[in-house]
Amino acid sequence: MDTHRYRVGQTVRFVKASRSSGLGGTPAGSFRVVGLLPDYHGNYQYRVQSTSDGHQRVVVESEIALQ
């Protein structure tokens, strides 16, 4: 069984933003993984929180990489 690549507490950065995310580009800065979510069309999801402003968002695994 496949598992999430990243764990709660790890710091990640965006490598790309999906078109469906509604983002006007790739968010800058560091984000901390605060939750593991089920896969969405074969791609694991995460709840991440910005380390600079505390804003949380849901991302898919292909959008992030370790900081």
Count of structural domains within the chain:
1
Residue 25 has pLDDT above 90, yes or no: no
pLDDT of residue 26: 72
Q: What percent of the chain has pLDDT over 70?
A: 85
For 48, the domain range is 11-66
Residue 16, domain member (yes or no)? yes
Q: What is the pLDDT of residues 32-58, one digit of tens each?
A: 999 999 998 999 999 999 999 999 999
How high does pLDDT run on average in the chain?
Answer: 88
Residue 48, domain member (yes or no)? yes
Give 18 or 32, the one with higher predicted confidence. 32
β-pairing, 64-66 vs 56-60, is unpaired
Tally of CB atoms within 10 A around 56: 12
